[in-house]
Structure formats: C-alpha cells, structure tokens
Structure 1
C-alpha cells in the first residue's frame, strides 16, 4: 500500500468554494488533501489561515500547501513569515510552474477574486506537476533560506 503525498489547503472566507473545488482536484491528481480552512462564510482573518497551513508544511506533516484569500497576497505574506516556507502568489500556470522549478516553492497562493475556477485548476496542476530543477537554482534558494532569522 502506497501512502499518497499530503497537501494542506486553507483560506479565509473569500475563498471557501474555490478551496473546496481545488481540494477535489488535488485528490484526483493523487494527493491527500488536508483541508483546514473555514467552512462557513463569516469573516475570518487570512493571517491565521496562512500561518496554520504554513506550519503544517514546515513541520513536514504535509509536503506542500495551497492557500487562498481574495487576492492571494495577504495570506501569502503571512505564510512566508513561517521559517522554511517559500510561497508565491500566482495568477497564471507559467508562474506556478516556475516557482516550483526555480524557487522550490512549497506553497502556492491564489486570489479567489482574481482568477476563475478553470484557471485556478490549471495553476494548481502546473504547480503540482513541476519539480525543482536544482543546479544554479539551488544556490539561489539557499540564499533565500539564509535570510531567515
């Protein structure tokens, strides 16, 4: 029996529906989704959800993470405060592929009020199917890591 890789998903209130659609999509790609986001539409602060997901990735409980808020920006900023996290906000599949291939990103952020469902799923697929290229990029990722306190 093979254990599926785990991916944590979280969002604020602005992205519940898209987060749930993405959770089903990542499951269809062979990942085990760990959805820790809110289930009701009451306003909830994105920093706590970005941090919670980032801690799951940083601890090794989940291999990757996908987080969402209205623009994807605020929740990404919160996640990047957690040591060991490299999260980028992406509004296109090319950028999602590149943050994995060149930056060894372990989290992806999406703006639910910026991209539609179809594009969001393309972005997620690009992120999950790309692999880190290493080489000269590893040196640069090491430089980013060295900036952490």
Structure 2
C-alpha cells in the first residue's frame, strides 16, 4: 500500500497518478490536498513520511511544484530516504542503490506521461541489498542519530 500526497501545485499531477493506480488496481491512501486548495508542503510531507516510517505504508510519493520542498521536508523525518527524481534512471537507482522509501516529483517540471513512467519505474525497482549499499545506508542512519538530539 502506498501513501501519496501533494500540495496545491502538485494536485493535478497527483490526480493523473491516482488514475493510473486505480486502473492498475494499486492500493493507496491520499494524504491530501484533496481539492487543490492552498496547502503547506511541509504538512503533507510530514503526514506521508510519518505513515511510511511507522510501517503502515511501505512507500510514499510526494508531489509539489518542483519536488524540492517535499524532499527537504520529508528527509527531516528519521528513517525517510526521499529522492527527488526527474528521470527513469534516477528512479531505478533511488530504489536499487539507496532504498529510497519516498519518491518526490515536481509537477511544474514533469509532464504527466513522464511522471507516470517514473512512478512505474520506481515501483517496479527493488533494493539490491548489496553489502556496500547496506553499509552506505547505515552511515546515513548514523548521521540521523548524530543530529537527532
């Protein structure tokens, strides 16, 4: 099950992605914005990130105008590895090499077709679990602990 959310700038791209999910029969929860009204990016990013970190959802997708605000906010939550992605190769590497658990997209940067292809690529990719990648992720985790207070 996927957690997905957007601010007002990402609302229409999110609707296109949700239509793709519905057609494919993918289970998801939409964390908002639900009507395109002005929404603070950090509020939606936090809700989706918390849902993923809690284990209730395996992965999350966040969409704003550029994807930058969503990725910055989501990455403040310990345990989140949010990747701002604009192409399929990066989507694949985000999962395979970095085990990214949140995908961030920019609605003002990507067209609907490209974004859906990126989402499909990211969802189809799996963390390769290589020893060197596990070691690198553990180093990221230690940075979180170092600065978590």
TM-score by length of 1: 0.92
Within the alignment, does 1:90 sit opposite 2:95 as a pair?
no
Q: Secondary structure at the match of 1:31?
A: coil
- Equivalent residue, structure 1, for 2:135: 139
Give unmatched runs, 5+ long, in structure 1: 1-5
- Equivalent residue, structure 1, for 2:33: 38
4, 27, 38: which one pairs with 1:9?
Answer: 4
RMSD: 1.1
- Equivalent residue, structure 2, for 1:99: 94
- Equivalent residue, structure 1, for 2:52: 57
Runs of 4+ in 1 over 6 A off after TM superposition: none
Greater alpha carbon shift after TM alignment, 129-138 vs 112-121: 129-138
Greater alpha carbon shift after TM alignment, 59-68 vs 21-30: 21-30
105, 108, 113: which one pairs with 2:108?
Answer: 113
Cα deviations by residue, 1:87-108 (Å, 9 ceiling, x for unpaired): 0100101101100000000000
Q: Secondary structure at the match of 2:100?
A: coil
Give unmatched runs, 5+ long, in structure 2: none
Which structure shows the bigger proportion of residues in helix conformation?
A: 2
Q: Secondary structure at the match of 2:60?
A: strand
Cα deviations by residue, 1:23-71 (Å, 9 ceiling, x for unpaired): 2323444531111111223321101111110000000111000000000
C-alpha separation in 2, matches of 1:10 and 1:125: 17
